[in-house]
Amino acid sequence: MADYQTIRPSGQTAGVGARSAQIDAGLRAHMNKVYGLMSVGMLLTGGVAWAVGTNDAMVQAIFATPLKWVVMFAPLIMVFAFSALINRLSVAAAQLFFYVYAAAMGLSLSFIFAVYTDTSIAQTFLVTAIAFAGLSLYGYTTKKDLSGMGTFLMMGLIGLIVASIVNIFLASSAMAFAISVIGVLIFAGLTAYDTQSIKNTYLQHAEMGDQEWLGKAAIMGALNLYLDFINMFMFLLQFLGNRE
């Protein structure tokens, strides 16, 4: 005979199912917002990079003068500032900051149009987009817990940043090659890890219904995936790019 204590009332079962469906719909909307924000950021970066990089006078004015150091390091300073300020910003202000950051990144990367052929840039972008889509899809759908990768990847990222800064002054081709290989692997792993993290963060906080918090979480998620894409693209360009 069935134990009546283990049988849920039909209304309760229906309520749980409706709530689950609501969370699933909310997750889809959240992920669409993340990818949408990221896409707008990518368009801003590409547009600024192309506009500046195809103008010889602007390239010379920026990258043939000490101004290049400001342009190169501004995005790094901005991303740390953004992480520190996100809790004090409104959703609208955080989104605007993200778009300004994407434009600044475009200015920083504009030199690639003066160094590499347009065809190789387009081909590398396509390869990066395909790899990113596959890795992000894996991170979203896999049942495997990728959280254990986080500490390892962050340690590798810190080491990569330090090595990249050091090599600006050393200009070692062998070190640059090693940095590029490691960089592709790290940001490939971060793409899957960050996607799963964005999904899990939403699921953990969906019950709270704090729309402002979820809005900021979507912006931070978009920033993380944006950085994964941009960095994977730049490291792949070291291998696939044909110089002018």
pLDDT tens-digit readout, 48-69: 999 999 998 998 888 888 888 8
pLDDT in tens, 166-209: 888 887 788 888 888 899 999 999 999 999 999 998 888 776 66
Backbone dihedral angles phi then psi of residue 116, each to the nearest 5 degrees: -110, 155
Mean pLDDT is lowest, of 39-43, 81-85, 101-105, for 81-85
pLDDT value at 228 more than 50 = yes
Please tell me the predicted confidence (pLDDT) of residue 2.
43
pLDDT mean across residues, the chain: 86
Please tell me the predicted confidence (pLDDT) of residue 6.
40
- Name which residue leads in pLDDT, 23 or 189: 189
Please tell me the predicted confidence (pLDDT) of residue 5.
40
Q: What is the DSSP string of the chain?
A: ---GGGPPPHHHHHHHHHHHHHHHHHHHHHHHHHHHHHHHHHHHHHHHHHHHHT-HHHHHHHHTSTHHHHHHHHHHHHHHHHHHHGGGS-HHHHHHHHHHHHHHHHHHHTTHHHHB-HHHHHHHHHHHHHHHHHHHHHHHH--S--TTHHHHHHHHHHHHHHHHHHHHHH--HHHHHHHHHHHHHHHHHHHHHHHHHHHHHHHHHGGG--HHHHHHHHHHHHHHHHHHHHHHHHHHHHHHPPB-
Sign of CA dihedral 209, 39, 123, 54: negative
Report pTM.
Answer: 0.86
pLDDT value at 35 more than 50 = yes
